[in-house]
Amino acid sequence: MTRSSAIREYKYYDFVMAAYVSVLLCSNLIGPAKETTLPVPPFGSITFLAGVLFFPISYIFGDILTEVYGYARDRRVVWAGFGALAFASIMAAVVVHLPPSAASRANQAAVETIFGNTPRIVVASISAFLCGTFVNSYVLAKMKIWTQGRWLWTRIVGSTLCGELIDSMIFYFLAFYGRMPLPHLVAIMFTQYALKSGWEILAAPLTYRIVAFLKRAEREDYYDTHTNFTPFSLRA
pLDDT of residue 184: 85
Q: What pLDDT band is residue 7 in, cutting at 50, 70 and 90? A: low
Q: Lowest-confidence range among 1-10, 43-52, 122-131, 191-200?
A: 1-10
Segment 92-135, tens digit of pLDDT: 899 999 999 999 999 999 888 888 877 888 899 899 999 999 99
Sign of CA dihedral 169, 143, 210, 38: negative
- Mean pLDDT, range 83-100, rounded to an integer: 92
Percent of the chain with pLDDT over 90: 63
CA distance 133 to 218: 23
Question: 3-state DSSP call for residue 82?
Answer: helix
| pLDDT, greater one: 116 or 10 | 10
The tally of domains found in the chain comes to: 1
Q: Is residue 32 part of a domain?
A: yes
More confident residue, 45 or 197: 197
Residue 99 DSSP class: P
Residue 39, domain CATH = 1.10.1760
For residue 73, being part of any structural domain is answered with yes
Range of the domain at 130: 13-218
| Cα–Cα distance, 161 to 71 (Å, whole number) | 18
What span, in angstroms and rounded, lies between the C-alpha atoms of 166 and 129? 9
Residue 226 lies in a domain: no
pLDDT in the model for residue 3: 47
* Residue 150 pLDDT class (50, 70, 90 cuts): very high
* pLDDT at 4 exceeding the cut of 60: no
pLDDT: which is higher, 215 or 180: 215
The answer to whether position 231 is within a domain reads no
Helix/strand/coil for 210: helix
Please indicate, yes or no, if residue 3 is contained in any of the structural domains.
Answer: no
What is the model's pLDDT at position 5? Answer: 45
Q: Which pLDDT does position 130 carry in this prediction? A: 95
DSSP for 45-57, written as a single string:
EEEEEGGGGTTHH
DSSP H or E run through 37: strand 35-39
Residue 112 domain-assigned (yes or no) = yes
Kindly state the percentage of the chain with pLDDT values over 70: 96
Residue at 145 is within a domain:
yes
Residue 178 is assigned to a structural domain of this protein: yes
Average pLDDT of the chain?
90
